[in-house]
Amino acid sequence: NRLSVQLSGGEIWATAPLDGRVRIWSVDGAPLNSFNGLAEPNAIAVDPGSLTAWICEELGPRARRWTAAGITQATVPGVGLPTDVAITPGGGAWIVDQLRGKLLRVNAAGTPLDTVDVGSDPRRLAVDTLDGSVWVSRTTANEVVHVSASGAILSRTPGLEGAYAIDIDEFRNQVWVSL
């Protein structure tokens, strides 16, 4: 299960891929809501500004934006295999399309704004909140790709065998990658 914590609203959202369900709790563990009808949700990112979540569904395959009440707000067309998602300013999202080797940026309505060819087998992403750039792990290529907020490839860091999970420590200006 992928987990996203909404810090500003004090809510924890979690996907249950095999149940096709999303559950929401308060930070003290009290259940707040849940909704189902998803096709193996495998990644989630919560937007604290709109109180909605972008959720990737492996069997759809699709990425959709949902309210906490389980109402679909947007659907992204033509996603091959979405494996990760991160919120952009304004309620949009960056979505990793593993099948097509692409990074897709969409607005809050799900309309594609940019498509970046990062190469085969992208898996996870992390957004640098300081400059809006995106870091994408490519597992079988053993590298991490750094993409600008506008969608230009800034750099490729090879030699990271099995690069998978990725996160950013803005305070130390470091990117962390699990191998």
pLDDT digits (tens, 9 = 90+) for 120-172: 999 999 999 889 999 999 999 999 999 999 999 999 999 999 999 999 998 88
pLDDT at 8: 57
Give per-residue pLDDT as tens, 73-86: 999 989 999 999 99
Q: What's the pLDDT score for residue 48?
A: 84
Average pLDDT, the chain: 92
Mean pLDDT computed over 20-27: 91
Tens digits of per-residue pLDDT, 24-56? 998 898 999 999 999 999 999 999 888 899 999
pLDDT at 2: 61
Q: What percent of the chain has pLDDT over 70?
A: 96
pTM reported for the whole predicted model: 0.93
Which residue, 40, 39, 1, 9, is CA-closest to 25? 9
